[in-house]
Amino acid sequence: MATQTQIPVEVPVEDQRAPVIEPGHSFSTIGEKVSNIVLKRPVSLGWIFGFLVMFSVMNMLLMAMGYLFLKGTGIWGITIPIGWGFAIINFVWWIGIGHAGTLISAILALLRQSWRNSINRFAEAMTLFAVACAGIFPLIHTGRPWLAYWMFPYPNSMNVWPQFRSPLIWDVFAVSTYGTISLVFWFVGLIPDLATLRDRAENPVIRGIFGILAMGWRGSARHWHRYETAYLLLAGLATPLVLSVHTVVSFDFAVSIVPGWHTTIFPPYFVAGAIYSGFAMVLCLAIPIRAVYGMEDFITMRHLENSGKVMLATGLIVAYGYFIEAFMGWYSGNTFDSFLLWNRLHGPYAAWYWSLLTSNIFIPQLLWLKKFRTSTFWLWVISLIVLVGMWLERFIIIVVSLHRDFLNSAWGMYYPTKWDWMTYIGTIGLFLTLMWLFVRVLPMVSIAELRTLLPEAHVREEEEVHK
């Protein structure tokens, strides 16, 4: 039963659509091609150079954080009334990006989408790294980061506890759970491939390392049986989880009373937005990687096109979200809500709002055309634009809602400082550094799962043999 979910019985080669794996591959060629990137491929100058660049960008983050801990959050642009700025914007943005990974590996697994198999591995890695980047912000955005651990419920001499009605506490639990489960899911998926690498590695040290990581996996039929049940259950658990995480993040806003935050549409619209940006990031990474490492056979145009379709769909949901917000602002007749709408369209940040609409709604409509869906170049460009757009969305939601709320007398403006930018760009550096390492030390596509896609992997039951 369990196996059903794992292997689609449809044979891709007979399919009219672009195949999920190019013909001419055997069990061992797949293993070879994927594992060689890790085991055999020499470390190129280009890789080293790129790594150094990313690494130095990452160090910008460390510098910014160092100065932050030294001086306090005052080095940022935040103020009263705009108590949250880049830190929370980036947090929401990164968490959102993470969602694609889990979606691909969990939800598409449940939906038995065979095309997921070759992109889920690095999509999951992407999730982990994105969550890592996101996780930094809730910590450092506090005024006294060295006390941030007070947000966890632990018995203490002061006999005080966190305040469980606060969405921030929900965040703590949601994000940490999300991180943990993603890691577990990712690692479970890795075990058989680690075994493959163990058996293929010549260098005894590397062999030893992979040996330890593989934990003595030997591909026993019993093990596979339990393994698949576990994998299925993890997928089943991760699916509601991934939907819940951005819902909880959206509660940070929806639960408050700030005009522009206090909205019931936030949960679905945040989740859609998350997947939207997530797939954009997948494409941003997949397109160059498959080119550089010759993965076109495994990450085929079919994958890219499907990702494009997902973006189009989620993008439309997001657009609907914007529309409803605007509609409600007008329809409610509430003076604060209607002003919020006015302020977005005409206020000091109007330019940001319009570019948000352009990059998140107008431009992605190009994806209706197969021409753009099947052009790696255009897909890549559009994905970049969407990533920017989704960042702008969070900027609009957080800053523009806060800077002019209830009392006219308390209105203010938000001007990000160089430290805000350094922190933001720094996390991008961190993310790419981790990605850079990942593609060289771990199999970036799932060998075992790819093998199951080969026609010879499918067996006919023949009861008669035993009759």
Partner 1 sequence: MSDASVENSVYGLMAEFDSPQELVDAAHKTHGAGYKEIDAFSPFPIEGLADAIGFHKNNVALVVLICGIIGGLSGYLLQYYVAVLSYPVNVGGRPLHSWPSFIIVTFELTILFGGISAAVGMLALNGLPLPYHPVFNVPAFSKASDNKFFLVVSSTDPKYDATRTREFLKGLAPRAVSEVPS
Partner 2 sequence: MDENNKHQGGPDVCPGKRKQLDLQAVKEQIEETTGPEYWRSLEELAGSDDFREMMHREFPKGASEWLDSFSRRGFLKTMGASLALAGLTGCTKLPPTEIVPYVKQPENLIPGKPMYYATAYTLGGYASPILVESHMFRPTKIEGNPDHPASLGGTDVYAQASLLDLYDPDRAQNITYMGDVRSWTAFTEAVRGPMSAAKGIAGGGVRILTQTVSSPTLAGQIRDYLKANPQAKWHVYEPISRDNANEGAKMAFGEVVETRYDLSKADVIVSLDADFLYAGFPGNTRYIRDFASRRNPDGNMNRLYVVESTPSSTGMKADHRLPVLASYVEDFAKTLAAAVGIKLGGFDQEKSRGATEFDKAVAADLTGHRGSSVVIAGDHQPPAVHALAHAINQALGNVGKTVFYSDSVDANPVNRGQSIHELVEDIRGGKVDLLLILGGNPVYDAPAELGFASALKSNAVALKVYLGTHSNETAELCHWHVPEAHYLESWSDARAYDGTVSIVQPLIEPLYGGKSAHEIITILAGQPDLSGHDLVQGYWQKQHSGSDFESFWRKSLYDGWVAGTAYALKTVALKPATQADVSEMGGLDPGNVPVYELNFRRDPSIYDGRFANNGWLQELPKPLTKLTWDNPVMIGPAMAARMKLTFKDVVELEFQGKKVKGPIWIQAGHPDNMVTVFLGYGRTRSGQVGTGAGFDVYPMRTSQALWFASGVKLTPTGETYDLASTQGYQTMETPDGSERPLVMERDLEEYKKEPNFAKEGETPKELTLYPPVDYSKETYNWGMAIDLNSCVGCNNCIVACQSENNIAVVGQHQTLKGRHMHWIRVDAYYQGPRENPKGYFQPVPCMQCENAPCELVCPVGATVHSSEGLNDMVYNRCIGTRYCSNNCPYKVRRFNFLLFQDWETPQYKMMRNPDVTIRSRGVMEKCTYCVQRINESKIDAERADTVVKDGELQTACQQSCPANAIVFGNINDPNSRVNQWKAQSRNYSLLGELNTRPRTTYLAEVRNPNPELKTERSAG
With 0-12 CB in 10 A as exposed, 13-18 as middle and 19+ as buried, what is 365? middle
- As measured in angstroms, the least distance from the Cβ of 80 to partner 2 is 6
- As measured in angstroms, the least distance from the Cβ of 169 to partner 1 is 7
Distance CA(426)–CA(449), nearest Å, equals 35
Among 213, 237, 255, 326, binds partner 2 (CB under 8 A): 255
Applying the rule CB under 8 A, the residues between 104 and 123 that interact with partner 2 are: none
Q: How many CB atoms lie within 10 A of CB 263?
A: 21
Among partner 1, partner 2, none, partner that 230 touches (CB below 5 to 8 angstroms by kind): partner 1
Applying the rule CB under 8 A, the residues between 124 and 143 that interact with partner 2 are: 141-143
Applying the rule CB under 8 A, the residues between 146 and 165 that interact with partner 2 are: 147-148, 150-151, 160-163, 165
Which parts of 330-467 are beta strand (E)?
none
Largest alpha-carbon pair distance within the chain?
88
Distance CA(168)–CA(152), nearest Å, equals 11
- As measured in angstroms, the least distance from the Cβ of 112 to partner 1 is 13
Among 256, 355, 365, 376, binds partner 2 (CB under 8 A): 256
Peptide bond into 81 cis (omega under 30): yes
CB 307 within 8 A of CB 283: yes
Tell me if 339 contacts partner 2 by CB under 8 A: yes
Distance CA(214)–CA(212), nearest Å, equals 5
Tell me if 64 contacts partner 2 by CB under 8 A: no
Contacts of 11 (CB under 8 A, 6+ apart): 455, 458
Among partner 1, partner 2, none, partner that 438 touches (CB below 5 to 8 angstroms by kind): none
Return the exposure string of 110-132: e unless at least 16 CB atoms fall within 10 Å of the residue's CB, then b: eeeebbbbbbbbbbbbbbbbbbb
Among 23, 74, 219, 288, binds partner 2 (CB under 8 A): 74
Contacts of 297 (CB under 8 A, 6+ apart): 21, 22, 25, 33
Which CB sits closer to partner 2, 121 or 404? 404
CB 289 within 8 A of CB 15: no
Tell me if 329 contacts partner 2 by CB under 8 A: no
Among partner 1, partner 2, none, partner that 371 touches (CB below 5 to 8 angstroms by kind): none
With 0-12 CB in 10 A as exposed, 13-18 as middle and 19+ as buried, what is 204? exposed
Which CB sits closer to partner 2, 77 or 179? 77
Applying the rule CB under 8 A, the residues between 77 and 96 that interact with partner 2 are: 77-81, 83-84
CB 93 within 8 A of CB 277: yes
- As measured in angstroms, the least distance from the Cβ of 66 to partner 2 is 13
> Minimal CA–CA distance to 61: which of 439, 432, 392?
432
Q: What are phi and psi of 95, to 5 degrees?
A: -55, -45
- As measured in angstroms, the least distance from the Cβ of 100 to partner 1 is 19
- As measured in angstroms, the least distance from the Cβ of 409 to partner 2 is 4
Among partner 2, partner 1, none, partner that 342 touches (CB below 5 to 8 angstroms by kind): partner 2
- As measured in angstroms, the least distance from the Cβ of 268 to partner 1 is 16
Which CB sits closer to partner 1, 199 or 352? 199
Distance CA(424)–CA(427), nearest Å, equals 5
Tell me if 418 contacts partner 2 by CB under 8 A: no
Structure tokens of 76?
Answer: 């940022």
Which CB sits closer to partner 1, 256 or 365? 256
Which CB sits closer to partner 1, 122 or 227? 227
Among 9, 215, 221, 257, binds partner 2 (CB under 8 A): 257
Structure tokens of 160?
Answer: 């005080």
- As measured in angstroms, the least distance from the Cβ of 337 to partner 2 is 11
Spell out, one character per residue from 373 to 412, where the chain touches partner 2: x when CB under 8 A holds, - when not.
-----------------------------x-xxxxxxxxx
* CA 27 centroid distance within chain: 30
Tell me if 234 contacts partner 2 by CB under 8 A: no
Applying the rule CB under 8 A, the residues between 173 and 202 that interact with partner 2 are: none
Distance CA(201)–CA(207), nearest Å, equals 5
- As measured in angstroms, the least distance from the Cβ of 90 to partner 2 is 15
| Interacting residues with partner 2 (CB under 8 A) | 71-75, 77-81, 83-84, 141-145, 147-148, 150-151, 160-163, 165-169, 172, 252, 255-258, 335, 338-339, 342-343, 346-347, 402, 404-413
